[in-house]
Amino acid sequence: MRDALVFAGTIEGRKITEYLCSSLGEVTASVATEYGGEILTVINGLKIIHGKLDFQGICELLKRESPKIVVDATHIYACEVTENVKRACESRKIPYLRILRDTRAAENAVYVDSVKEGAAYLDAREGNIFITTGSKELGEYTAIQNYKERCYARVLSLPQVVNTCDALGFRGSHLIAMQGPFSKEMNVAMLKQVKASYLVTKESGAAGGFEEKCEAARECGVTLVVIGKPKAEEGMSLEQGKKYLAEFFGISAKQEIALIGIGMGNRDLLTEEALQWIKESDLLIGAKRMTDLFDDGEREVCHAYLGDEINQCFTSHSHCRKAAVLLSGDVGFFSGAKKLIPIFPDARVMPGISSLSYFCSKIPCSWEDVSCVSLHGKKDNVTGILRERGRVFVILGRSDDLQGLCQRLKDCGLGDVWVSVGENLGYPEEKITKGKAEGFLDIHTSTLSVCLLELREEAVCTCGIGDEAFIRGNVPMTKEEIRSIILSKMKLKRKAVVYDIGAGTGSVSVELARTAFLGEVYAIEEKPEAVELILKNQKRFGTENLFVVPGRAPEVMEDLPAPSHVFIGGSRGNLKEMIQMVLNKNPKVRIVVSAVSLETIGEAFGQMKDLEEKCRRKTEVTAVSVAKSKMLGEYHMMMGGNPVYLFASFVLEE
């Protein structure tokens, strides 16, 4: 007794046979032609029976093989074979499963019932004819006047087929002997080559390349002549059939999955490992523009790109043994693979060419010292990173991202930054543009764009911006020497979350934001005039990670994220409440308080001492007095400023 008997001869037949052979021990395939058997010989453990069978022959085969189920995956036009197989199964009470191709109506098509009717239709019209219906009925087209000059036949590349066509007068450039499948692009090229006005085909479904022929005909303005209207049948799609057979035999095979970076979307740029995995897969998952690159009708396709959606696709296709999740670019560079790896911990991960490496090879330039930022769905401190690192690669998300980015660079004095822009990388419409930032203020780009920013002159990397560089107004400002010491006491990290309470002109806030350029700085200020100055200085210095919070502390701090560092430059009698709130948000927060008046000095010292006793924190007190030279007549005199006391409070573990 055999597990299954498959009547094959189609792509669906091969796929369903491969699926059964990989899980079952005894599978037989029946094919009508020698060629049909050749495409099945690569399947290990398969028993193949050649030859056309009538009803009696099918009954004898069923008796001899005694299959548990019969799968009919014959061509949609093989109506007689299907009827005989179905009748034979009914007579022997063997379960019968019909696998149907996905067929769909074609636009701008003429449907005829037979090849003879199609030839008559074409004979009454002018123009070259591209025939893709095979060699068996090619003789019918000889009824067309001047058929040797007008008709071009595409057939299988078998010696006997070529000989038959030659005998009918189809030879030379009018006979194209090739093995499919044929892509839309290949069909377009052939239609243009033969200058066809008509394309003759059968409605063979997705696996038979029908859709690719329709699209090619539409693109070339060619009329489709569709031979035959297949009889309406009941059955299952290939995917439904696999699910049914999995339940019928209780198949629960282990699934394999790979997360594959497909680079810029160019098949030629994929690794051999990735291409081989995709070829062997029976399920492709990814955005449509990605799956379209590899969807040749040989495997099932699921359009998804979010983790939950991909997991659902994988689960609902439990009958598929090997799946490829297609991801743009490289799996380790701003890729969805980051969130998918925890969901699929056993998945193979295959790298691709990132937009960074591809683009830098096109400019060309090295990229070992480049910092990378993605603006997809978020805003980043690009100007701060650029000042710190000198070269920044940016993945743009919207068509106006470049325009806004270059405007911000210009506003903070970086309008002469060199910008290289890449649009639609890897696609036919790829475009690369270069120039200064100020030259891109009115430019919109493709949504698939990147840019490389480069400082031509190295920026100053130390703290202590000159006082004259700030917009001052009538608001008191912490002087540059004091700011430098404050930053030293803050001991910031690049990703610090910092409060500057009582920010004044924003001079300390700007210095904090430029130091913690990957973090966030919240400038808290209640005076409207000072708030305006902070906003102006934030724009002047391009500190995009500096956020102004108008209002009185500690009330306006309630909804802010927990700080890692806090600087208090003005407390207005609320020092205790401010300290308590930040400690509630983060007990390990580092706090630095500046004080000039004796009253504030006393209050700050008392609070710090209280923290030492109750919270096991340590306090450092530093008194700073700065004198700067000033010309008085012919002499330089040192003019001293008010002494400033700095109180730093931190946990003992530091």
628 burial type by CB count under 10 A (0-12 exposed, 13-18 middle, 19+ buried): exposed
Question: Which residues, in sequence order, are CB contacts of 296 under 8 Å at separation 6+?
Answer: 181, 183
| Cα 466 from Cα 479, distance rounded (Å) | 9
Q: What per-residue confidence (pLDDT) applies to 229?
A: 63
DSSP code, position 112: E
55 burial type by CB count under 10 A (0-12 exposed, 13-18 middle, 19+ buried): middle
Cα atoms in the 13 Å half-sphere on the side-chain side of 568: 33
| Cα 77 from Cα 93, distance rounded (Å) | 25
Residue pair 260/324 in contact (Cβ under 8 Å)? The answer is yes
Cα-based distances in Å from 631 to 103, 371, 469, 500, 635: 92, 46, 21, 34, 6
State residue 49 phi and psi, 5-degree precision. -120, 125
Tell whether the torsion through CA atoms of 528, 530, 536 and 538 is positive or negative: negative
Residue appearing with tokens 């093995």:
179
Residue pair 400/387 in contact (Cβ under 8 Å)? The answer is no
| Cα 28 from Cα 48, distance rounded (Å) | 6
Condensed to tens digits (0 to 9), the pLDDT of residues 254-294 reads 788 999 999 988 888 899 999 999 988 889 999 888 888 88
User: Domains in the chain, ordered, with CATH?
Assistant: 4-98 (3.40.50.720), 109-227 (3.40.50), 254-353 (3.40.1010.10), 357-454 (3.30.950.10), 467-651 (3.40.50.150)
Q: What per-residue confidence (pLDDT) applies to 213?
A: 87
The distance of Cα 214 from the centroid of its chain, to the nearest Å, equals 29
Burial readout 593-622 (b: 16 or more C-beta within 10 A, e: otherwise): bbbeeeebbebbbebbeebeeeeebebeee
Query: Across all residues in the chain, what is the average pLDDT?
Result: 88
Q: What per-residue confidence (pLDDT) applies to 211?
A: 73
% of residues, the chain, pLDDT over 90: 52
Question: Which residues, in sequence order, are CB contacts of 618 under 8 Å at separation 6+?
Answer: 612, 649, 650, 651, 652, 654
The full DSSP string for 299-332 is SEEEE--SHHHHHHHHHHTTT-SEEEEEESB-TT
| Cα 518 from Cα 302, distance rounded (Å) | 38
Q: What per-residue confidence (pLDDT) applies to 105?
A: 47
pTM of the model: 0.63
Query: Taking the CB of residue 361, how many other CB atoms lie within 10 A of it?
Result: 12
Partners of 403 in beta bridges = none
Find the mean pLDDT for residues 201-228. 81
Condensed to tens digits (0 to 9), the pLDDT of residues 562-614 reads 999 999 998 787 899 999 999 999 999 999 999 998 888 999 899 988 888 88
Condensed to tens digits (0 to 9), the pLDDT of residues 358-408 reads 999 999 999 999 999 998 877 788 988 998 889 999 999 888 999 999 999
Condensed to tens digits (0 to 9), the pLDDT of residues 95-151 reads 999 998 755 545 568 888 889 999 999 999 999 999 998 888 899 999 999 999 999
State the amino acid at position 560 in one-letter form. Answer: L
